Structure 1
Amino acid sequence: MSQIPWLGPQDLFPNPLSEVDPDPNVPGLIAVSERIYPGQLVKAYRLGIFPWYSDKQPVLWWSPDPRMTLKPENFKCSESLRKNIRLFCRDAHSQIQVDIDFPQVIRACATSTRKDQDGTWITHEIMDAYTAIHEQGHAHSIAVIENGQLIGGLYCVALGGMVFGESMFSRKPNASKIALAALSAWCSRNHVSMIDCQQETAHLHSLGAAPIGRQSFLEQLQISLNQTNIEKPWNFDKHILTHWL
């Protein structure tokens, strides 16, 4: 059995496209590090690796098999959600804001309570690391605003023609779904083939996501990284939601 590598600031990640999991007893765990070092996060995403760990743990780096993904056109927009979208689009006091206040959105994701979940994996270190790559143009936030208040949203990472969904939150019913509907419509417009959802959950299944094998995901990732189809800077509003109407 190989040992899971402990990475220092200059160490390279194992490439999950060509190397097997180092410990079959912990499938998908690729590497461990003391912290998220500068530049390390973007390098990980380019290899299909992401951090997921709890506070007071070392940083655990994952590449799961299978991998949960959402093809933008497969987003399930139910009749009830369509009704919510119509009302949202007609309401002069409702907005979609993109990259207006990334730190506020990621803090909201970190502090929102979730059913059957105690605490959050979005530590202060995670917030700092993703805010840093947001400032570099690699991470984005979508905020759902009603009467000037943040009621839902999500943040994600984008590299080349690939989008990696990270976390969503809702303070009102369907607010996070509206954010994901906006992201899916934007990705469809920009010919993004899939949104990485990382890990399989019933909630993601209900929204149209499906698992694919890690090898297939990583092969598609390498193709997408070389594409430049996403418009920059990210700039859209709630009218993107009419894609689903």
Structure 2
Amino acid sequence: MSQAPAAGAPALAAELHHGHARALSRHLGRKLARTDLRARRLAHTLALQRAGTASSDVDLAFELADAVTGLHLRARRLPSMIGAPPSPGAEARTDHLAQGLEVAVESAYELVRQLEREHPRGSAQAKRIGYACAQASALLSEFTTALHGPATAPAALSRQRRVSLTARWLICSAAHVLPASEQARYAEEWRGELWDLAAEPRRRHLAHAVRVTLRAWTTRRAILRSRRDDDGGAW
């Protein structure tokens, strides 16, 4: 009789992990469903404002909306993986979803950049879409951990050696406050520093991104001061 609890402990632990995975998959699905609607609404709003005129930002908005729709459909299939034996197809499914979320974050940031001057409200919406996709990526990582259990999750996650998308998003936003001619250079430098932390815990990624964000305005002032000095004090 004394052996029964020990014998049932692995099954109980697995059920707890699976229950957590189900909750995470529902949360991820709801988040992507809302993001899908927001991305569609933004794309159609931009198209109406452009009155049918060809525009790169409209094209990008529709591409982003299509991408988020695809991500939402993939996320809806995640619950079928819970409790099923591990398989290459299931692993590829989470890998593709993770990669798709990463691309969506990058596309959203590019849309933020394109819309900033002429359509600040649209730019703000694109920023919300990108941040939601970054949050969805974090949920997917949690789902993978819950699905595989803490013992095997590191091996499953190691196939996707990447940095926190939330941290990447913060760094892209920080670079966005710099003068346009300097944004690409500093964004590349800050992203390189972030990738140096790829093997570290996610909290280190976020700490670095927060430090970059806090010093972004100081960097902007230093750049403008240097330009003013180079011009002999003339603006």
Query: Could you say which structure has the higher helix fraction?
Result: 2
Please report the TM-score for the alignment, with normalisation by the length of structure 1: 0.23
Which of structures 1 and 2 has the bigger CA Rg? 2
Query: Could you say which structure has the higher strand fraction?
Result: 1
Please report the TM-score for the alignment, with normalisation by the length of structure 2: 0.24
